[in-house]
């Protein structure tokens, strides 16, 4: 007892343990909410970045493919990367020289890149420019993923290139799947690369690969 007759102030050990337990539960709930909000923000940022990258790539592809006069069927090189190429005639280029364009999907680096060069003897070939990163390959994807080229026919008068991308770093489950079809307006059933008489999935007479292949 204190000198004035009152009981000593303070908490018992049991009361202290109960208070600490309650505080621990409240702190755990608060931290869980903070982690959830942080993860949600990270996912939103990853999705925004992925969408911006794919949007830029699709815009560039649309601008390039629409003037093509011949599009090769896609195929893989020795490294395992998948390629597609097309030729733009001289009348459709600013320089007045026919232009070759090649896009590559590298499944190891998970990148989609492009390069181009004038269709002349001993051309100067641009370095690869990466357009999209974190491009994932679905388990059910075809061998030529992410490219599919449809030949021109009597009912479909133009060659078309379909690009399908699954993009996302995957750390927090962020994924963006986008697909679009691009028509080569200057192509036709008579385009050099249109025929595949032996049905092996490759153009019988590919364009733009005599000097620059598929490494």
What does the pLDDT look like over 64-100, one tens digit per residue?
999 999 999 999 999 999 999 999 999 999 899 999 9
Q: Which of 3-12, 57-66, 127-136 has the lowest mean pLDDT?
A: 3-12
User: Does the residue 190 lie in any domain?
Assistant: no
- Would you say residue 114 lies in a domain? yes
Q: Cβ neighbours of residue 77 under 8 Å, at least 6 residues apart?
A: 83, 213, 214, 215
Global pTM reads 0.78
Q: Which residue has the tokens 């697909």?
A: 179
Query: d(Cα 123, Cα 67) in Å, to the nearest integer?
Result: 21
Instruction: Show the domain range for 152.
Output: 50-183
Residue 65 in domain: yes
130 is a domain residue: yes
Per-residue pLDDT, 36: 63
Report helix, strand or coil for 47: helix
Number of domains into which the chain is organized: 1
**pLDDT tens, position by position, 174-191:** 778 899 999 999 999 999
Closest C-alpha among 180, 168, 170 to residue 52 = 168
What percent of the chain lies above the pLDDT cut of 90?
Answer: 63
**Do the domain assignments include residue 209?**
no
- Is residue 100 within 8 Å of 118, Cβ to Cβ? yes
Tokens of 18: 């109960």
Per-residue model confidence (pLDDT) at position 19? 75
pLDDT (average), residues 196-212: 94
In a domain, 59, yes or no: yes
pLDDT higher than 80, residue 126 = yes
Residue 163 CB neighbours (<10 A): 24
- Does some domain include residue 116? yes
In a domain, 30, yes or no: no
Cβ neighbours around 170 below 10 Å, total? 13
């Amino acid at each position: 007892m204190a000198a004035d007759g009152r009981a000593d102030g303070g908490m018992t050990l049991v009361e202290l343990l109960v208070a600490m337990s309650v505080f621990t539960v409240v702190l755990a709930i608060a931290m869980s909410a903070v982690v959830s909000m942080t993860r949600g923000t990270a996912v939103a940022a990853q999705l925004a970045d992925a969408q911006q990258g794919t949007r830029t790539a699709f815009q560039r592809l649309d601008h390039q493919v629409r003037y093509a006069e011949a599009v090769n069927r896609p195929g893989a090189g020795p490294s395992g990367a998948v390629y597609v190429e097309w030729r733009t005639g001289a009348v459709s280029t600013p320089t007045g020289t026919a232009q070759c364009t090649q896009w590559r999907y590298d499944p190891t680096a998970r990148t989609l890149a492009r390069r181009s060069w004038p269709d002349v003897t001993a051309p100067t070939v641009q370095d690869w420019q990466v357009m999209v990163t974190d491009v994932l390959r679905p388990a059910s994807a075809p061998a030529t993923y992410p490219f599919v080229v449809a030949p021109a026919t009597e009912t479909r008068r133009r060659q078309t290139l379909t690009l399908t991308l699954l993009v996302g770093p995957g750390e927090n489950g962020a994924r963006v799947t986008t697909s679009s079809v691009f028509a080569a307006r200057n192509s036709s059933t008579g385009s050099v690369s249109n025929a595949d008489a032996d049905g092996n999935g490759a153009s019988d007479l590919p364009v733009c690969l005599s000097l620059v292949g598929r490494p």
